[in-house]
Amino acid sequence: MKPLFIHPEIDKAETLPAEFYRSTALFDRTKTDVFLKSWQFISDANILPFAQHVYPFTLLDGFLSEPMVLVKDEKEEIKCLSNVCTHRGNLVVQSPGRERKLTCPYHGRRFGLDGSFEFMPEFKEAKNFPRDCEGLHQFPIERWGSMLFVGLNPQFGFAEIIAKMKERVGFLPMSDFRPDSTLTREYLVQANWVLYCDNYLEGFHIPFVHKDLNAVLNYGKYKSELYERMTLQIGYADEGVESFNLPKDHPDFGEKIAAYYYWVYPNMMFNFYPWGLSLNIVKPVSLNRTRVSFLSYILDPSKLETGAGAQLDKVEREDEFVVESVQKGVSSNFYRAGRYSPVREKGVHHFHRMIAEAIGKGELPT
């Protein structure tokens, strides 16, 4: 056996080996070592329209399948709690609506809207009760515009991620971005979730896979910037193509920027265009099946079908085709691993190093 390792120097490194994308054991390790230590998108804040409103949901259903509940309390502060009763594990909140208290329908254990334990019938004789652990676990939550994010057992801060993105897109009025459910799309990709992210993290394939997108981007200037737990790809616009109107104090002022593509470890993609934001969430289903949600936040609807942000469904289908083809290829008995382009695949190398470091002692057959 040998450990999973990616050389820190890209010009010497090999990619994740084919076995990584075929190993059920390593796929399961990503649940505990990657996703349970991450931040995840929950929903738009308007899902809680009133004070004392609750909304139960399952985070990454079918993968993590973590029962949670969003709560807007009396002061209209939003919290995210475990939706698992600390008595016998029943789901506390069964449906969205207005609630003054959270009461488990199984045996009547009651909690406050902050998750604190309040009352349990028939427990007067129980010794050393209540314990400190009787309340519902409260998860850290961050808000950006109207988007809500939850930290499971996060190994990094999400406020720092948002702050880094604001260096480039902070001039955009996020409070004016409006979710448009009519543009929401769900895609089922017959490939490992890491392969989907691999594809996103490099512009190397654009001239070969996305002819229409390549026609509006200046591929020669396309570049990637690497940050802690995040990668930024900058798509420069060709002449005559829709681009951002950047303020004078912007780091890219004077450049024609068609898109800012942010990937946040491990599975969130923030694609900013002049029309708004396409937020893509990559959701593992099984070893070789992945669900991808496309959520649209509109700033200027008149620019929806212009520039790099046009024909997103077509671009996605083209990506799916090649990613599913790669999944078949890495299943070959004769493919072991590849090398990285030091110029074009910095983002993929960055991601692979994070995966290898997270899984730690995960081992592969020699």
Q: pLDDT tens-digit profile of 154-212?
A: 999 999 999 999 999 999 999 999 999 999 999 999 999 999 999 999 999 999 999 99
Q: What is the pLDDT of residue 2?
A: 72
124: three-class secondary structure by DSSP: coil
- Per-domain residue ranges of the chain: 51-144, 163-364
The pLDDT assigned to 267 comes to 98
Write the pLDDT tens digit of every residue in 46-89.
999 999 999 999 999 999 999 999 999 999 999 999 999 999 99
Task: Examine the pLDDT at 271 and tell me if it is beyond 70.
Answer: yes
What sign results for the dihedral spanned by CA atoms 105, 109, 111, 116?
negative
Whole-model pTM: value is 0.95
Average pLDDT over residues 218-223: 95
**What whole-number percentage of the chain has pLDDT above 90?**
96
Coil vs helix vs strand at 351: helix
At residue 71, the pLDDT reads 98
**Per-residue confidence (pLDDT) for residue 3, from 0 to 100:** 81
Mean pLDDT, the chain, as a whole number? 96
- Report yes or no: 244 and 257 within 8 Å, Cβ to Cβ: yes
Q: Which CATH superfamily is domain 163-364 in?
A: Naphthalene 1,2-dioxygenase Alpha Subunit; Chain A, domain 1 (3.90.380.10)
Q: Is 194 left (phi over 0), alpha (psi -120 to 50) or beta?
A: alpha
Strand-pair partners of 226: 231
Per-residue pLDDT, 360? 72
Question: Position of tokens 């850290």?
Answer: 140
The CA distance from 108 to 318, in Å, is 52
Q: CATH classification of 51-144 is 1.10.3720.10, yes or no?
A: no
Distance CA 33, CA 53 (A): 33
Query: Is the pLDDT reported for residue 366 higher than 50?
Result: no
| pLDDT, mean of residues 116-131 | 96
pLDDT tens digits for 318-361?
999 999 999 999 999 999 999 999 999 999 999 999 999 999 75
Distances (CA, A) of 49 to 45, 76, 112, 259: 8, 10, 19, 32
What is residue 364's predicted lDDT score, i.e. its pLDDT? Answer: 53
Helices 346-359 and 193-200, packing angle to 10 deg: 150
Asked whether the beta carbons of 281 and 150 are under 8 A apart, the reply is no
pLDDT per position as a tens digit, 298-313: 999 999 999 999 999 9
Dist CA 166 CA 160 (whole Å): 10
